């Protein structure tokens, strides 16, 4: 197996595991350089690599740039002159090269808490959009395979237990569409303890006003409650379940794109 074939095999395995990784490929060279066009290297989130694009300071800069690509989720081209280290060049080979850094990110997680009619429709749409869906409800019949065929993870039980077995990362959104304000009051402190990029809570402004007052009375920091998107979703005068799901997922998409940019 060639070096590039091994790297592509490792890339495929990383993607299947859901590990974020960058494929760095030399796409152009001029004059004397350590590696030629087509050379590939993988850079993982912890800075470890597979393969090499030449070693030394230039490779260290490539790793640093690749980690930035993971943070931005956007591919980029980087160019290095390997002529004069005294002027900051990462090498003295005498040539230059261009690398293409291509990030491979695991699917964004969408946690849907409350699996009634709205929750099920949100899961279906999020799945169709390519997100990894986690459906959570304390009523087992609502998170069965028959009830939630498009949920990749179905959890019947408490939110705390669900998060313990399916940890929430920064690259996650939480959609709260529960059956009552009492459930929201119980679970919101746990939601605020997560690094989720987006947390939206369904309910009218009147319902949220009383819910917020109770949470503050219970000791929740009022400034933390400002993280929540309430009422959930972008205003599109939605009426049907499908329209409500579009409104919610539009806000999830907008928030994630804005944060990453």
pTM, entire model:
0.79
| Percent of the chain at pLDDT exceeding 90 | 69
**Residue in this structure with the two tokens 């169709």, named with its chain if needed:** 128
**CATH code: domain of residue 219:** 3.40.50.720
- Predicted confidence at residue 96, as pLDDT, reads 78
Q: What is the 8-class DSSP label of residue 197?
A: S
Domain count, the chain: 2
Domain boundary among 89, 104, 119: 104
Q: Is residue 97 located within the same domain as residue 113?
A: no
Q: Examine the pLDDT at 93 and tell me if it is beyond 80.
A: no
Nearest to 141 by CA among 160, 154, 159, 127: 154
Identify the DSSP state of 51.
E
Average pLDDT of the chain is 90
Tell me, yes or no, whether 87 and 125 share the same domain.
Answer: no
pLDDT band at 4 (very low <50, low <70, confident <90, very high): confident
Residue with the larger pLDDT of the pair 222 and 84: 222
Cβ(41)–Cβ(20) below 8 Å: no
pLDDT score for 146: 95
Give 177 or 35, the one with higher predicted confidence: 177
Rounded CA separation 156/56 (Å): 51
pLDDT tens track for 128-158: 999 999 999 999 999 999 999 999 999 999 9
Shared domain for 148 and 244, answered yes or no, is yes
Of 68, 86, 104, which residue constitutes the final position of a domain?
104
**Residues 61, 135 within the same domain:** no
What is the pLDDT confidence band of residue 261, given thresholds at 50, 70 and 90? low
CB atoms within 10 A of CB 217: 9
Q: CA 125 to CA 248: how far, in whole Å?
A: 10
* Domain membership of residue 133 as a residue range: 109-260
Same-domain pairing of 231 and 130: yes
User: What is residue 3's predicted lDDT score, i.e. its pLDDT?
Assistant: 86
Same domain, 54 and 152: no
Q: Which phi and psi angles does 244 have, rounded to 5°?
A: -65, -40
Burial class of residue 85 in the structure, from the number of CB atoms within 10 Å of its CB (0-12 exposed, 13-18 middle, 19+ buried): exposed
Do residues 85 and 204 both lie within one domain?
no
144 shares its domain with 55: no
Three-state DSSP state, 175: strand
Model confidence at 90: pLDDT above 70: no
Three-class SS state of 258: helix
137 shares its domain with 96: no
Pinpoint the alpha helices (H) of 81-148: 117-128
60 and 40 together in one domain: yes
Same domain (yes/no): 237, 136 = yes
**End of a domain among 75, 104, 133?**
104
pLDDT of residue 33: 72
Average pLDDT over residues 217-244: 94
Q: Give the model's pLDDT for residue 97.
A: 83
Same domain, 93 and 114: no
Per-residue confidence band for 28, with pLDDT thresholds at 50, 70 and 90: confident
Q: At 9, which helix (H) or strand (E)?
A: helix 3-17
d(Cα 7, Cα 41) in Å, to the nearest integer? 7
3-class SS of residue 144: coil
What residues contact 179, with CB distance under 8 A and at least 6 apart? 114, 116
């Amino acid at each position: 197996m060639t070096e590039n074939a091994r790297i592509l095999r490792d890339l495929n395995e990383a993607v299947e595991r859901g590990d974020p990784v960058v494929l760095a490929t030399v796409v152009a060279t001029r004059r004397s350089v350590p590696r030629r066009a087509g050379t590939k290297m993988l850079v993982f989130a912890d800075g470890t690599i597979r393969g090499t694009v030449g070693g030394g300071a230039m490779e260290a800069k490539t790793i640093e740039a690749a980690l930035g690509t993971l943070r931005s989720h956007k591919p980029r081209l980087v160019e290095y002159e390997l002529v004069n280290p005294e002027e900051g060049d990462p090498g003295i080979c005498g040539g230059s090269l261009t690398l293409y850094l291509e990030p491979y990110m695991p699917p964004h997680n969408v946690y849907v808490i409350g699996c009634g009619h709205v929750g099920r429709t949100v899961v279906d749409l999020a799945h169709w959009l390519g997100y990894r869906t986690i459906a959570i409800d304390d009523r087992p019949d609502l998170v069965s395979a028959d009830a939630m065929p498009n949920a990749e993870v179905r959890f019947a039980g408490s939110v705390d237990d669900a998060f313990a077995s399916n940890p929430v990362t920064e690259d996650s959104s939480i959609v709260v569409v529960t059956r009552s304000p009492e459930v929201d009051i119980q679970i919101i402190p746990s939601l605020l303890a997560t690094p989720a990029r987006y947390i939206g809570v369904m309910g009218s402004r009147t319902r949220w006003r009383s819910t917020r007052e109770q949470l503050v009375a219970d000791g929740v920091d009022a400034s933390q409650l400002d993280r929540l998107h309430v009422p959930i979703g972008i205003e599109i005068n939605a009426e049907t379940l499908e329209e409500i799901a579009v409104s919610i997922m539009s806000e999830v998409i907008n928030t994630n794109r804005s944060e990453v940019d």
